[in-house]
Amino acid sequence: MIDPYDTLGVARDADAAQIKTAYRRRAKNAHPDTGGDVDTFAKLTMSYELLCDPVRRKVFDETGYDPTLADTKDLEGLLVLEGLINDFILDEREPGSFDPVAAMRRKLTDKIVNVRFHILELERHRARIRNHMDRIGRRPETDFLGSMMRARSESITDAIGKAEAQIETIEQAYQMLEGYSYEIEIEAKSAAE
């Protein structure tokens, strides 16, 4: 997540005039027409727009989040966490009787393990296809069997890449849970024991 205050170099209590001055000063050097970086200028502009909008600024100040400033990986991680949030909101147990944050971490860990197992299975299938390709005799004319097996091997390689990206997203979601804890009621703990 980009911090608009850091990006513009203003204090959290900066007023509209200070924000505008800071934006103009930084935008002069960051603008692509003056040799600046396109991404840096875009971040400056998004930060300025957020801080100039009182509603968005209030939401950011209260939550530390604004969708326009979020990194793509953070958004993907949030989508993973959204499903897990629904799980514990719909859980019929009394709040305070279980730790939903720990449950989310366990589910994320289980997902990673399952995806890694899936990758191992895909790699095993790809190795078998390649082994068959090495052993099959080729027709002198068109090698349609070899072509079909190469296509299958490439599909499996693509699926492995997608699964590895899925693991990165799940790991990002796990990292986003850092710093969170949940207070369990003492009575609920002793009743469970």
Q: How confident is the model at residue 191 (pLDDT cuts 50, 70, 90)?
A: low
To the nearest whole percent, how much of the chain has pLDDT over 70? Answer: 95
**Nearest-10 crossing angle of helices 100-135, 72-90:** 120
Q: Do residues 110 and 80 touch, judged by C-beta distance below 8 A?
A: no
- For 54-80, the DSSP string reads HHHHHHHHHHS--GGGS-HHHHHHHHH
Least confident of 13-17, 79-83, 109-113, 166-170: 79-83
Distance (Å, whole) CA 26 – CA 9: 9
Instruction: Give the tens place of pLDDT for each residue, 32-62.
Output: 988 888 989 999 999 999 999 999 999 889 8
Residue 188: its pLDDT value, please? 47
Where exactly are the structural domains of the chain? 4-70, 71-193
Distant-in-sequence, close-in-space partners of 75: CB < 8 Å, separation ≥ 6: 67
Distance (Å, whole) CA 24 – CA 31: 10
Instruction: Give the tens place of pLDDT for each residue, 12-33.
Output: 999 999 999 999 999 998 999 8
CATH class of 4-70: mainly alpha
Distant-in-sequence, close-in-space partners of 12: CB < 8 Å, separation ≥ 6: 5, 61
Q: Give the residue from 64, 74, 70 showing the smallest Cα distance to 12.
A: 64
To the nearest whole percent, how much of the chain has pLDDT over 90? Answer: 61
Confidence (pTM): 0.65
Is it the case that residue 115 has pLDDT exceeding 80? Answer: yes
Is it the case that residue 121 has pLDDT exceeding 80? Answer: yes
Residue 190: its pLDDT value, please? 52
Distance (Å, whole) CA 172 – CA 112: 11
